[in-house]
Protein backbone atom coordinates (compact mmCIF):
# COMPACT_ATOMS: atom_id res chain seq x y z
CA UNK A 1 0.00 0.00 0.00
CA UNK A 2 2.76 2.34 0.87
CA UNK A 3 4.30 1.75 -2.54
CA UNK A 4 1.01 2.63 -4.27
CA UNK A 5 0.67 5.90 -2.36
CA UNK A 6 4.19 6.84 -3.13
CA UNK A 7 3.58 6.09 -6.83
CA UNK A 8 0.48 8.33 -6.93
CA UNK A 9 2.31 11.10 -5.17
CA UNK A 10 5.16 10.94 -7.68
CA UNK A 11 2.69 10.92 -10.60
CA UNK A 12 0.91 14.00 -9.25
CA UNK A 13 4.22 15.81 -8.84
CA UNK A 14 5.07 14.96 -12.45
CA UNK A 15 1.76 16.39 -13.75
CA UNK A 16 1.88 19.69 -11.89
CA UNK A 17 4.78 21.17 -13.96
CA UNK A 18 2.91 20.28 -17.17
CA UNK A 19 -0.19 22.20 -16.08
CA UNK A 20 1.92 25.14 -15.07
CA UNK A 21 3.50 25.21 -18.51
CA UNK A 22 0.11 24.93 -20.23
CA UNK A 23 -1.31 27.73 -18.11
CA UNK A 24 1.67 29.91 -18.87
CA UNK A 25 1.27 29.29 -22.59
CA UNK A 26 -2.41 30.12 -22.38
CA UNK A 27 -1.64 33.28 -20.47
CA UNK A 28 0.91 34.34 -23.10
CA UNK A 29 -1.58 33.65 -25.89
CA UNK A 30 -4.21 35.67 -24.10
CA UNK A 31 -1.84 38.58 -23.69
CA UNK A 32 -0.92 38.39 -27.40
CA UNK A 33 -4.60 38.35 -28.41
CA UNK A 34 -5.37 41.32 -26.18
CA UNK A 35 -2.39 43.24 -27.55
CA UNK A 36 -3.45 42.55 -31.12
CA UNK A 37 -6.99 43.59 -30.37
CA UNK A 38 -5.78 46.88 -28.86
CA UNK A 39 -3.41 47.49 -31.76
CA UNK A 40 -6.22 46.93 -34.27
CA UNK A 41 -8.42 49.39 -32.42
CA UNK A 42 -5.67 52.01 -32.45
CA UNK A 43 -5.06 51.43 -36.17
CA UNK A 44 -8.74 51.79 -36.93
CA UNK A 45 -8.89 54.99 -34.91
CA UNK A 46 -5.82 56.38 -36.68
CA UNK A 47 -7.23 55.38 -40.05
CA UNK A 48 -10.53 57.01 -39.26
CA UNK A 49 -8.71 60.12 -38.10
CA UNK A 50 -6.73 60.20 -41.32
CA UNK A 51 -9.88 59.74 -43.37
CA UNK A 52 -11.51 62.53 -41.43
CA UNK A 53 -8.58 64.83 -42.11
CA UNK A 54 -8.66 63.92 -45.78
CA UNK A 55 -12.40 64.48 -45.93
CA UNK A 56 -12.05 67.83 -44.17
CA UNK A 57 -9.40 68.95 -46.62
CA UNK A 58 -11.06 67.50 -49.70
CA UNK A 59 -12.79 70.75 -50.62
CA UNK A 60 -10.01 73.11 -49.49
CA UNK A 61 -8.11 74.84 -52.30
CA UNK A 62 -4.74 76.45 -52.02
CA UNK A 63 -4.31 80.21 -52.25
CA UNK A 64 -2.74 79.77 -55.67
CA UNK A 65 -5.82 77.83 -56.88
CA UNK A 66 -8.35 80.34 -55.59
CA UNK A 67 -6.42 83.47 -56.52
CA UNK A 68 -7.76 85.08 -59.68
CA UNK A 69 -5.19 84.78 -62.44
CA UNK A 70 -4.90 87.92 -64.52
CA UNK A 71 -4.99 86.90 -68.15
CA UNK A 72 -2.86 88.69 -70.72
CA UNK A 73 -4.80 90.81 -73.20
CA UNK A 74 -3.80 93.05 -76.09
CA UNK A 75 -5.81 95.81 -77.78
CA UNK A 76 -4.66 97.93 -80.73
CA UNK A 77 -5.24 101.56 -79.82
CA UNK A 78 -6.83 102.64 -83.11
CA UNK A 79 -9.72 101.15 -85.11
CA UNK A 80 -9.56 100.04 -88.72
CA UNK A 81 -8.81 102.96 -91.06
CA UNK A 82 -7.63 104.04 -94.50
CA UNK A 83 -4.22 105.62 -95.15
CA UNK A 84 -2.74 107.23 -98.26
CA UNK A 85 -0.08 105.21 -100.08
CA UNK A 86 3.42 106.41 -99.19
CA UNK A 87 2.53 107.62 -95.70
CA UNK A 88 3.97 106.24 -92.48
CA UNK A 89 1.87 106.07 -89.36
CA UNK A 90 2.66 105.08 -85.81
CA UNK A 91 0.47 102.50 -84.06
CA UNK A 92 0.42 101.36 -80.45
CA UNK A 93 -1.33 98.64 -78.48
CA UNK A 94 -2.40 98.40 -74.86
CA UNK A 95 -1.13 95.24 -73.17
CA UNK A 96 -2.59 94.03 -69.87
CA UNK A 97 -0.93 93.41 -67.46
CA UNK A 98 1.56 96.11 -68.41
CA UNK A 99 4.50 94.34 -66.74
CA UNK A 100 4.25 91.13 -68.77
CA UNK A 101 7.63 89.72 -69.78
CA UNK A 102 6.33 88.83 -73.25
CA UNK A 103 7.16 91.19 -76.10
CA UNK A 104 4.63 92.79 -78.43
CA UNK A 105 4.93 91.55 -82.02
CA UNK A 106 3.49 93.34 -85.09
CA UNK A 107 2.60 91.64 -88.38
CA UNK A 108 1.14 92.61 -91.76
CA UNK A 109 -0.97 90.06 -93.61
CA UNK A 110 0.08 91.56 -96.98
CA UNK A 111 3.24 93.64 -97.35
CA UNK A 112 2.06 94.76 -100.80
CA UNK A 113 -0.43 96.92 -98.90
CA UNK A 114 1.73 97.92 -95.92
CA UNK A 115 4.85 96.97 -94.00
CA UNK A 116 5.14 97.25 -90.22
CA UNK A 117 8.25 97.42 -88.05
CA UNK A 118 8.45 95.96 -84.55
CA UNK A 119 8.46 99.54 -83.25
CA UNK A 120 4.93 100.03 -84.63
CA UNK A 121 5.76 102.07 -87.74
CA UNK A 122 3.35 101.21 -90.55
CA UNK A 123 4.40 102.20 -94.09
CA UNK A 124 1.66 102.07 -96.72
CA UNK A 125 3.10 100.46 -99.86
CA UNK A 126 0.06 99.97 -102.09
CA UNK A 127 -3.70 100.10 -102.44
CA UNK A 128 -5.95 97.39 -101.04
CA UNK A 129 -6.70 96.00 -97.60
CA UNK A 130 -4.61 93.97 -95.17
CA UNK A 131 -4.76 92.98 -91.51
CA UNK A 132 -2.47 94.51 -88.91
CA UNK A 133 -2.01 92.07 -86.04
CA UNK A 134 -0.55 92.73 -82.59
CA UNK A 135 0.43 89.60 -80.68
CA UNK A 136 1.63 89.01 -77.13
CA UNK A 137 2.31 85.34 -76.42
CA UNK A 138 -0.74 83.48 -77.70
CA UNK A 139 -3.10 86.49 -77.51
CA UNK A 140 -3.73 88.75 -80.51
CA UNK A 141 -5.76 91.69 -81.73
CA UNK A 142 -6.15 92.85 -85.31
CA UNK A 143 -7.49 95.75 -87.37
CA UNK A 144 -7.80 96.40 -91.10
CA UNK A 145 -5.65 99.02 -92.78
CA UNK A 146 -6.61 100.05 -96.29
CA UNK A 147 -4.17 101.73 -98.62
CA UNK A 148 -5.74 104.45 -100.76
CA UNK A 149 -4.33 106.59 -103.58
CA UNK A 150 -5.23 110.02 -102.14
CA UNK A 151 -7.00 111.60 -99.18
CA UNK A 152 -10.42 111.81 -100.81
CA UNK A 153 -10.32 108.28 -102.24
CA UNK A 154 -13.34 106.25 -101.22
CA UNK A 155 -12.77 103.29 -98.93
CA UNK A 156 -13.85 99.89 -100.21
CA UNK A 157 -14.90 99.01 -96.66
CA UNK A 158 -16.24 102.46 -95.71
CA UNK A 159 -13.37 102.99 -93.27
CA UNK A 160 -12.55 106.37 -91.70
CA UNK A 161 -9.25 108.02 -92.55
CA UNK A 162 -6.32 107.79 -90.14
CA UNK A 163 -6.50 111.55 -89.58
CA UNK A 164 -10.16 111.26 -88.51
CA UNK A 165 -9.29 108.42 -86.12
CA UNK A 166 -6.44 110.33 -84.48
CA UNK A 167 -8.49 113.53 -84.16
CA UNK A 168 -11.23 111.58 -82.41
CA UNK A 169 -8.75 109.89 -80.06
CA UNK A 170 -7.10 113.18 -79.14
CA UNK A 171 -10.48 114.75 -78.41
CA UNK A 172 -11.33 111.85 -76.11
CA UNK A 173 -7.96 112.14 -74.37
CA UNK A 174 -8.53 115.86 -73.76
CA UNK A 175 -11.94 115.23 -72.21
CA UNK A 176 -10.58 112.48 -69.95
CA UNK A 177 -7.59 114.39 -68.59
CA UNK A 178 -7.46 116.04 -65.16
CA UNK A 179 -5.57 119.13 -64.11
CA UNK A 180 -2.31 117.41 -63.11
CA UNK A 181 -1.77 115.88 -66.53
CA UNK A 182 -2.81 112.35 -65.56
CA UNK A 183 -5.59 110.31 -67.22
CA UNK A 184 -8.90 110.59 -65.40
CA UNK A 185 -9.70 107.43 -63.43
CA UNK A 186 -12.92 107.99 -61.55
CA UNK A 187 -14.34 105.05 -59.63
CA UNK A 188 -18.05 104.28 -59.53
CA UNK A 189 -18.12 105.25 -55.88
CA UNK A 190 -16.54 108.62 -56.61
CA UNK A 191 -18.86 109.19 -59.55
CA UNK A 192 -21.84 108.57 -57.30
CA UNK A 193 -20.78 111.31 -54.89
CA UNK A 194 -22.58 114.64 -55.37
CA UNK A 195 -20.44 117.39 -56.86
CA UNK A 196 -19.85 120.58 -54.91
CA UNK A 197 -21.51 123.79 -56.02
CA UNK A 198 -18.12 125.34 -56.73
CA UNK A 199 -17.09 122.50 -59.02
CA UNK A 200 -20.47 122.49 -60.73
CA UNK A 201 -20.32 126.22 -61.51
CA UNK A 202 -16.63 126.36 -62.44
CA UNK A 203 -16.29 127.08 -66.17
CA UNK A 204 -14.61 124.47 -68.34
CA UNK A 205 -11.27 125.68 -69.69
CA UNK A 206 -9.57 123.74 -72.46
CA UNK A 207 -5.79 123.94 -72.31
CA UNK A 208 -4.22 124.69 -75.67
CA UNK A 209 -0.48 124.28 -76.04
CA UNK A 210 1.45 127.18 -77.53
CA UNK A 211 4.15 124.79 -78.72
CA UNK A 212 4.94 123.82 -82.30
CA UNK A 213 2.77 121.23 -83.99
CA UNK A 214 4.19 118.09 -85.58
CA UNK A 215 4.11 119.57 -89.09
CA UNK A 216 6.14 122.54 -87.82
CA UNK A 217 8.82 120.79 -85.76
CA UNK A 218 10.80 119.66 -88.85
CA UNK A 219 11.91 123.25 -89.44
CA UNK A 220 13.90 123.38 -86.18
CA UNK A 221 15.41 119.89 -86.06
CA UNK A 222 18.38 120.79 -88.23
CA UNK A 223 19.48 123.39 -85.69
CA UNK A 224 19.29 120.80 -82.89
CA UNK A 225 21.75 118.33 -84.44
CA UNK A 226 19.38 116.15 -86.50
CA UNK A 227 19.87 115.51 -90.22
CA UNK A 228 17.19 114.46 -92.67
CA UNK A 229 17.33 110.99 -94.23
CA UNK A 230 13.90 111.17 -95.85
CA UNK A 231 10.80 113.28 -96.19
CA UNK A 232 9.87 112.89 -92.53
CA UNK A 233 12.80 111.08 -90.85
CA UNK A 234 15.49 113.02 -88.93
CA UNK A 235 18.44 111.11 -87.47
CA UNK A 236 20.85 112.06 -84.70
CA UNK A 237 24.34 110.62 -85.28
CA UNK A 238 25.63 108.04 -87.77
CA UNK A 239 27.02 104.52 -87.57
CA UNK A 240 28.29 103.69 -84.09
CA UNK A 241 27.38 107.23 -83.01
CA UNK A 242 23.71 106.74 -83.90
CA UNK A 243 21.62 107.79 -80.89
CA UNK A 244 18.10 107.91 -82.28
CA UNK A 245 15.76 109.65 -84.68
CA UNK A 246 12.51 111.53 -85.02
CA UNK A 247 9.68 110.63 -87.39
CA UNK A 248 7.38 113.56 -88.09
CA UNK A 249 3.81 112.97 -89.26
CA UNK A 250 1.04 115.51 -89.79
CA UNK A 251 -0.48 114.82 -86.38
CA UNK A 252 2.26 113.24 -84.30
CA UNK A 253 6.00 113.51 -83.57
CA UNK A 254 7.71 110.26 -82.62
CA UNK A 255 11.04 110.64 -80.82
CA UNK A 256 13.08 107.40 -80.86
CA UNK A 257 15.86 107.00 -78.31
CA UNK A 258 18.29 104.17 -78.93
CA UNK A 259 21.32 105.34 -76.93
CA UNK A 260 21.31 107.94 -74.20
CA UNK A 261 24.11 110.48 -74.04
CA UNK A 262 24.43 113.97 -72.63
CA UNK A 263 24.28 115.55 -76.10
CA UNK A 264 21.34 113.51 -77.37
CA UNK A 265 19.39 113.86 -74.13
CA UNK A 266 19.85 117.62 -74.38
CA UNK A 267 18.70 117.56 -78.02
CA UNK A 268 15.59 115.56 -77.14
CA UNK A 269 14.74 117.95 -74.32
CA UNK A 270 15.10 120.84 -76.76
CA UNK A 271 12.66 119.12 -79.12
CA UNK A 272 10.22 118.65 -76.24
CA UNK A 273 10.64 122.30 -75.29
CA UNK A 274 9.56 123.30 -78.79
CA UNK A 275 6.55 120.98 -78.66
CA UNK A 276 5.58 121.52 -75.00
CA UNK A 277 7.18 124.80 -73.89
CA UNK A 278 5.32 124.98 -70.58
CA UNK A 279 5.58 121.35 -69.43
CA UNK A 280 8.48 119.81 -71.34
CA UNK A 281 10.38 119.15 -68.10
CA UNK A 282 7.44 117.06 -66.88
CA UNK A 283 7.43 115.10 -70.13
CA UNK A 284 11.16 114.36 -69.77
CA UNK A 285 10.76 113.44 -66.11
CA UNK A 286 7.94 111.03 -66.98
CA UNK A 287 10.17 109.46 -69.64
CA UNK A 288 13.21 108.98 -67.40
CA UNK A 289 11.11 107.48 -64.59
CA UNK A 290 8.92 105.20 -66.74
CA UNK A 291 9.28 101.46 -66.20
CA UNK A 292 6.25 100.52 -68.34
CA UNK A 293 4.39 102.14 -71.23
CA UNK A 294 2.20 105.03 -70.12
CA UNK A 295 0.04 107.79 -71.60
CA UNK A 296 -0.75 111.19 -70.10
CA UNK A 297 -1.87 114.69 -71.03
CA UNK A 298 0.36 117.78 -71.01
CA UNK A 299 -0.76 121.18 -72.25
CA UNK A 300 -3.90 119.57 -73.62
CA UNK A 301 -1.85 117.19 -75.80
CA UNK A 302 -1.56 113.42 -75.54
CA UNK A 303 1.95 112.22 -74.75
CA UNK A 304 2.86 108.53 -74.74
CA UNK A 305 5.99 106.90 -73.33
CA UNK A 306 6.98 103.54 -74.83
CA UNK A 307 9.71 101.70 -72.95
CA UNK A 308 12.42 99.84 -74.86
CA UNK A 309 11.84 96.14 -75.48
CA UNK A 310 14.44 93.55 -76.44
CA UNK A 311 17.15 96.13 -76.94
CA UNK A 312 15.04 98.36 -79.19
CA UNK A 313 14.22 102.04 -79.10
CA UNK A 314 12.36 103.74 -76.30
CA UNK A 315 9.96 106.41 -77.53
CA UNK A 316 8.36 109.72 -76.59
CA UNK A 317 5.30 110.30 -78.74
CA UNK A 318 3.67 113.74 -78.83
CA UNK A 319 0.34 114.15 -80.62
CA UNK A 320 -0.96 117.50 -81.90
Average pLDDT, the chain: 76
- Spatial strand order of the sheet with 121-124 comes to 88-90, 121-124, 114-116
Residue 303 and residue 283 in contact, taking contact as beta carbons nearer than 8 Å: yes
Region of poorest pLDDT, from 14-18, 72-76, 156-160, 181-185:
181-185
Poorest-pLDDT segment among 185-189, 205-209, 230-234, 283-287: 185-189
**The domain defined by 71-151 carries CATH number 2.60.40.1080:** yes
- Which of the four pLDDT bands, split at 50, 70 and 90, describes residue 26? confident
d(CA 285, CA 303): 12
The pLDDT value recorded for residue 12 is: 53
For residue 92, which of 207, 192, 169, 196 has the smallest C-alpha distance?
169
pLDDT at site 205? 44
Residues of the chain with CATH 2.60.40.1080: 71-151
Average pLDDT, stretch 129-144?
88
In the structure, what pLDDT confidence band is assigned to residue 45 with cuts at 50, 70 and 90?
A: low
Confidence of residue 22 (pLDDT cuts 50, 70, 90): confident
Average the pLDDT over each of 19-23, 115-119, 165-169, 177-181 and give the range with the smallest value. 177-181
Q: Tell me the per-residue pLDDT of 243-281, one tens digit each, with 9 for 90 and over.
A: 999 988 888 899 999 888 999 999 999 999 999 998 999
Span 183-208, mean pLDDT? Answer: 41
pTM (2 d.p.): 0.43
Q: DSSP 3-state assignment of 310?
A: coil
With cut-offs at 50, 70 and 90, classify the pLDDT of residue 82. very high
Q: What is the pLDDT of residues 225-251, one digit of tens each?
A: 999 887 788 999 888 888 999 988 888
Amino acid sequence: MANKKNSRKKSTMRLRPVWVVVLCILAVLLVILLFRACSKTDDDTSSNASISVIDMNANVQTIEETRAVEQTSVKIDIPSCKVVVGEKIYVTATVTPANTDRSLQWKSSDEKVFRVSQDGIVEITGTGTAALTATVGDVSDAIVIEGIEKNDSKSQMNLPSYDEVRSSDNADADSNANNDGQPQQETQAAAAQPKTTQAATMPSVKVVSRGLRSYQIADVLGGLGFHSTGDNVFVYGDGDDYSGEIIVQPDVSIIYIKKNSADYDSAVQSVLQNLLPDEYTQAWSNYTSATTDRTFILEGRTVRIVTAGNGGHSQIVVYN
